[in-house]
Amino acid sequence: MGALAGGWIYVRTKRTKLYVELAGRVEEITSGDRFEFSWAVHAVPRFGDRIAVVSNFLPEQRFAVLRAAIHQILGCERSFVPMHKKGGTIAYETPITTAPAIVAFYHSASLTEFISCVVGARVYPTPLNDQSSLSMLFYDRPGDHIGWHFDRNFYCGRHFTLLLAMLNEGHSDGGLSHAILKTQAGPHEVDVRTPANTLVIFEGAEVRHRVTPILDDERRIMLSMTFCTDPRAHRWQGASRRVKDMAFFGIRPLWT
């Protein structure tokens, strides 16, 4: 029992030190390249059903920078939850050290201002210790999918999910993959097609959604980001969030 407690303390201390270092690195990134861009070319979409879709969201050159950053990240963590999901994931920690442009984009004032205008409330990035605050979702092996679900809200304020399609290639209509985002905010199910550079904004606690299985020789990579009107969390919310993150990122969220 003593050895187990000692091991827990050691890992906890090590992870705490890591998060101090990562926070410093995020501050360096966001004080340097702020990845600002003009979103005035887009009409602010309606958010009546708690979901909005914007095609060709980023200017071509800015999107190319993010695409290049994605390719700097090698490998991902595979997860499989029977009857619910299968796919690859890269957590927030990884791009901080290997793809700073992605971190700069997530924290840019331009993105925050646009999302705030869409949802009609001031939003903020969610905390560093939330593995899903900024992550990458990989659907690149036959059968990769996620079943119907709502996104649990682990914060005091309203919680929003953003998906930016980085790559979507396959044998479906328009050369896209068969991994299709399906949403249900009311009685009807809606297919949301996501060619590269499509931004999807939705309030996941209110919008039921899933992604259909991808087929052989297809690939879909999504940049996933979360924002909140009040990113503070009660102790019980933090504990629930860590349990959820374990399904995607293994046991390390226990020490966040």
Domain 2-255 has CATH 2.40.37.10: no
Question: Which tokens is 97 given?
Answer: 């050290």
Q: Does the structure show a pLDDT above 70 at 186?
A: yes
- Tell me the pLDDT of the chain averaged across its residues: 86
pLDDT confidence of residue 243: 55
pLDDT confidence of residue 136: 93
Residue type, 156: C
DSSP output for 66-87: HHHHHHT----EEEEETTTEEE
Question: Which tokens is 151 given?
Answer: 């996104």
pLDDT confidence of residue 14: 63
Q: Does the structure show a pLDDT above 90 at 185?
A: no
pLDDT confidence of residue 254: 46
Q: Does the structure show a pLDDT above 80 at 142?
A: yes
Taking residues 129-151, what's their average pLDDT? 93
Taking residues 126-139, what's their average pLDDT? 91
- pLDDT tens, position by position, 226-238: 999 998 875 645 5
Q: Does the structure show a pLDDT above 90 at 209?
A: yes
Q: Quick one: which of 54, 247, 226, 79 has its CA closest to 155? A: 226
Q: Quick one: which of 91, 73, 102 has its CA closest to 164? A: 102
Q: Quick one: which of 134, 132, 218 has its CA closest to 170? A: 218
pLDDT confidence of residue 113: 96
Convert the chain into a string of H (helix), E (strand) and C (coil): CHHHHHHHHHHHHHHHHHHHHHHHHHHHHHHCCCCCCCCCCCCCCCCCCCEEEECCCCCHHHHHHHHHHHHCCCCCEEEEECCCEEEEEECCHHHHHHCHHHHHHHCCHHHHHHHHHHHCCCCEECCCCCCCCEEEEEECCCCCEEEEECCCCCCCCCEEEEEEEEEEECCCHHHCCCCCEEEECCCCCEEECCCCCCEEEECCCCCEEEECCCCCCCEEEEEEEEEECCCCCCHHHHHHHHHHHHHHHCCHHHHC
- What residue spans define the domains of the chain? 2-255
| Least confident among 3-12, 135-144, 196-205, 219-228 | 3-12
pLDDT above 70 covers what percent of the chain?
Answer: 84
**Which carries the bigger pLDDT value, residue 233 or residue 224?**
224
Beta bridge partner(s), residue 73: none
pLDDT confidence of residue 240: 58
pLDDT band at 87 (very low <50, low <70, confident <90, very high): very high
Most confident of 2-6, 86-90, 224-228, 231-235: 224-228
